[in-house]
Amino acid sequence: MRPIPSLNALRAFEAAARYQSFGAAADELCVTPAAISQQIKSLENYLGLKLFQRVGRRVTMTQDAQIILPELREAFGLIEKSLSRLGDGETGLLTINTTLAFAAKWLLPRIHYFQEQYPEIDIRLNTSDRLTQFEQENVDAAIRFGSGNYSGLKSLPIKAVTREKIFPVCSPDLLNRASPLKKIEDLRFHTLLHDNTIQNNPILPGWPQWMEQAGVNEVDTKRGLHFGNSVLAIDAAINGQGVALSCGFVVSDDLKAGRLVQPLSIPCDLEYNYHLVSPANRVNRKVEYFYHWLLVQCEGDN
């Protein structure tokens, strides 16, 4: 059997191909760009092929490199998946996927408590708004807002209440300005802050749906500031830029700290809530520990 190239050379190639940069690959692997270049050169010598071409300060893959890259990534994924199975007991790496808003506004301020309680478990936190592909992404569990009915998955609610609420929030300083904000119609005097990521999400209402449920049509719901994620919209509200819509779970800390207030006591009841979701056919003690920790944290918030 022909000896395979060194693992370091293969890792260097994969990272350089992903970043299209020897410098960025070096930063990820904690080596120098010269070391990356040397590893790539050794791999090219082994294969008898040119893998990269320099274009200014960047590098681009050759056609040969593009051919071997997908299978190499698959091989690295299989190695990582095999090794991760060794940690399906009570220690090792626990990979959690959730939305940016939930991670930034609720989970990150509390995650150190989990680490203190379970120092033998290392957390890797990924964020995305799309559905998690557990096997392909090597994710142990995901925190998602929805019905909780997902085929082939185990779904556990992480809040005692069955439904979440969404309502307007703003900085307390905003209420001290000239324009009133005592009834819904007063929103026409204020800037509406929009999270554009929910436009194609039928389970999360934006301003048009919230106004419709409230029975108000005097406010132009298209105007205002638009953001690419809910964290930016919430931070804009904290900074007094306008009024945002948010789930109570996401802004609970900001409300308690007084960074935000709920100027209108007319929440929109949603049909869904937050769940911890994981593959139904996989037993993972680390996920169980994380779920019970979530329940305790949520009880503390009430």
Residue 160 confidence (pLDDT) = 61
* Together in a domain, 284 and 148: yes
Q: What is the mean pLDDT of residues 127-153?
A: 82
* Together in a domain, 49 and 112: no
Q: In whole angstroms, what separates CA 266 from the centre of its chain?
A: 29
Q: Could you identify the residue written with the tokens 């050794």? A: 42
Q: What is the CATH number of the domain that holds 250?
A: 3.40.190.10
Asked whether residue 1 is assigned to any structural domain, the reply reads no
* Together in a domain, 18 and 99: no
Q: What is the CATH number of the domain that holds 65?
A: 1.10.10.10
Q: 168-217: per-residue pLDDT in tens?
A: 999 999 988 778 888 888 999 999 999 988 766 667 788 988 888 888 88
Domain count, the chain: 3
What's the domain range around 31? 7-85
* Together in a domain, 103 and 38: no
Asked whether residue 23 is assigned to any structural domain, the reply reads yes
- CB neighbour class for 20 (10 Å; exposed up to 12, middle 13-18, buried from 19): middle
Asked whether residue 132 is assigned to any structural domain, the reply reads yes
* Together in a domain, 193 and 264: yes
* Together in a domain, 173 and 37: no
Q: What is the mean pLDDT of residues 251-280?
A: 87
* Together in a domain, 218 and 255: yes
Measure the CA–CA gap between 213 and 207, rounded to whole angstroms: 10
Q: What is the mean pLDDT of residues 143-166?
A: 81
Asked whether residue 226 is assigned to any structural domain, the reply reads yes
Residue that is last in its domain, among 43, 67, 85? 85
Asked whether residue 253 is assigned to any structural domain, the reply reads yes
* Together in a domain, 60 and 11: yes
Measure the CA–CA gap between 230 and 228, rounded to whole angstroms: 7
Quick check: 140 pLDDT over 60? yes
Measure the CA–CA gap between 235 and 171, rounded to whole angstroms: 10
Measure the CA–CA gap between 155 and 277, rounded to whole angstroms: 4
**Average pLDDT score, the chain:** 85
Q: 20-53: per-residue pLDDT in tens?
A: 888 888 888 888 989 999 999 999 998 888 999 8
What do you get for the CA distance between the two ends of the chain, in Å?
Answer: 63
* Together in a domain, 170 and 255: yes
